[in-house]
Structure 1
Amino acid sequence: MLPVHSVSHPHSNAEVIRFTDVTKRFGENVTALDSVSAEFQPNRITVLLGLSGSGKSTLLRHINGLQRPSAGEITTLGTRVDLAGTGQLRRLRRDVAMIFQHFNLVGSMTVLENVCTGRLGSLRGPRMGLFMFPRTLRAEAMEQLARVGLADKAFQRADTLSGGQQQRVAIARALIQRPKVLLADEPVASLDPVSSASVIDLLTRISHEENLTVVCSLHQVEIALGFSDRILGLQGGRVVLDEETADISPEDAYSIYDRVANPASVADESRFEAALS
């Protein structure tokens, strides 16, 4: 059994995100989050580390209201997410960008158009085709593509790119939102080691340049230790480790994987998360 590290949550007026006793249940038998309390400070990279089904993706999706808690309170950028209406969530999501494991690009669109769609939440009316987006936005999208090293791919279909390139397009799409918070749900799980390293290096550089608050779920301990300022370890929906990365040994990090509380619950939650991704 994993020895649970002391988990403290000192109050800070500077936190960007706060979870207070958050529980999420799927049906009667699956508890995806179990009384989670945690704070996320500005301009820092927090990695959520744990097995599939440990609650990482569920926690991420509560930050911007893609899922609502069964109990507890969540505040993101001053908005009570658990109480927010549709309009409040729409405004919040302009400031909270998200990167997904499977990129979520529209393959038949050009790379440039995919990046422009990152600003749809701030535009009025439908946008059908690249030239329906304002010229200034197209120019900014090109700048973001240059930033991730893909300006030369701007007019290719997104589905012609490699996995690593598609994830860099997704990062450019997130950045064009000008977010304050960046959520990344297993951003390198579908990539080879070289592409993974490239994407993590890019996320690190951009998070520092933009002073972003980053919350990222990962499986890979080595990447987490090299990427994060802080690690939040989850097991069976509970926080079992919450430490500064500099204070964690590899053995501490790997110990998160020693045990899973309820294999049936893990399988059920994984199915729910897959259906919602």
Structure 2
Amino acid sequence: MPVISFDAVTKEFGDVRALSDVSLDVPAGQVAVLLGLSGSGKSTLLRHVDGLHRPTSGTVRVLDRDVGGLRGAELRELRSRVGFVFQQFHLIASLTVLENVCTGALAELRGPRLGLPSYPKRVRHAALDQLDRVGLADRALQRADTLSGGQQQRVAVARALVQRPEILLADEPVASLDPDSAAQVMDLISEVARQDGLTVLCSLHQVDLALSWGHRVVGLRSGAVVLDTPVDGLSRDAAMSIYGQVAAAGEAR
């Protein structure tokens, strides 16, 4: 049974159709990469997985739950099992690296937290363990805004991993990074996915990274799936055609 399943999903924002009749199954442990131009529906699709968006029609099932029907505690429980890494790191600049990572455990804690000592020891130890995995344990007590962009994104990955997620979503996680930092972050996510058996759904613009890192490529155009194939045997030209065909269509109009 797939851990993520879209069945004829359409999403409309007023007069704008962001997703159009999308059907897609992602099995456990697969690393699937979404490719497509900005505005093709990649981010909208990702945000359906943890209930940030709800379909106008169709069904989204995640970890055998109908996401569209979840509310309150049930939705929070699902989200605790789904990590999310964003293009913008969303770290709190004035906090230490370690406290930023600890915030990934807030879903399992009760009451507000004020300062690092307010987190249980087990959470602080788990956060340090994840910082060690991403190679930043030695920066634990630095302010987050003293790190480079690539380092901040690795902190964001560690924060997501503190949740102990079963699914990891990543929305253009390396779009703002230089090529070397981008490759390091994607290698890190790939290694963590393999070690932890994570299912990963990631949107990218970098075709070469997608081909070297993912198991499967799903191409989106104007909210519809136009390509869905394993990476093995997929040429760079075939993957790039997702973008070239869109540009050609735009010129024809």
TM-score by length of 2: 0.96
Q: Could you say what the CA RMSD is over the residues aligned between the two structures, in angstroms? A: 1.4
Q: Using the alignment, how far apart are the partners of 1:32 and 1:247 within structure 2?
A: 30
Amino acid at match of 2:12: R
Structure-2 residue corresponding to 1:3: none
Structure-2 residue corresponding to 1:49: 35
1:38 Cα deviation (Å)?
0.4
Which runs of 5 or more residues in structure 2 are unaligned? none
Q: Using the alignment, how far apart are the partners of 1:55 and 1:253 within structure 2?
A: 17
Structure-1 residue corresponding to 2:141: 155
Query: Any residues of structure 2 matched to 1:1-277 within 5 Å, and which?
Result: 14-28=1-15, 30-260=16-246
Q: Using the alignment, how far apart are the partners of 2:220 and 2:169 within structure 1?
A: 17
Structure-2 residue corresponding to 1:5: none
CA contact (8 A) 1:24 1:33 kept: yes
State the secondary structure of the residue aligned to 1:20: strand
State the secondary structure of the residue aligned to 2:106: helix
Which runs of 5 or more residues in structure 1 are unaligned? 1-13, 265-277
C-alpha spacing 1:228/1:55, structure 2 compared with 1 (3 Å): same
C-alpha spacing 1:256/1:124, structure 2 compared with 1 (3 Å): same
State the secondary structure of the residue aligned to 2:130: helix
Q: Deviations over 1:100-152 (max 9, x none)?
A: 00111111111000000000001111111110000111111111111111011
Amino acid at match of 1:38: L
State the secondary structure of the residue aligned to 1:82: helix
1:260 Cα deviation (Å)?
3.3
Q: Using the alignment, how far apart are the partners of 1:222 and 1:189 within structure 2?
A: 13
Q: Using the alignment, how far apart are the partners of 2:102 and 2:208 within structure 1?
A: 34
**Ranges of 4+ aligned residues in structure 1 off by more than 4 Å:** 261-264
C-alpha spacing 1:203/1:237, structure 2 compared with 1 (3 Å): same
TM-score by length of 1: 0.88
C-alpha spacing 1:31/1:261, structure 2 compared with 1 (3 Å): farther
CA contact (8 A) 1:235 1:261 kept: no
1:263 Cα deviation (Å)?
9.5
State the secondary structure of the residue aligned to 2:245: coil
Aligned length: 250
Amino acid at match of 2:9: V
Q: Using the alignment, how far apart are the partners of 1:202 and 1:243 within structure 2?
A: 23
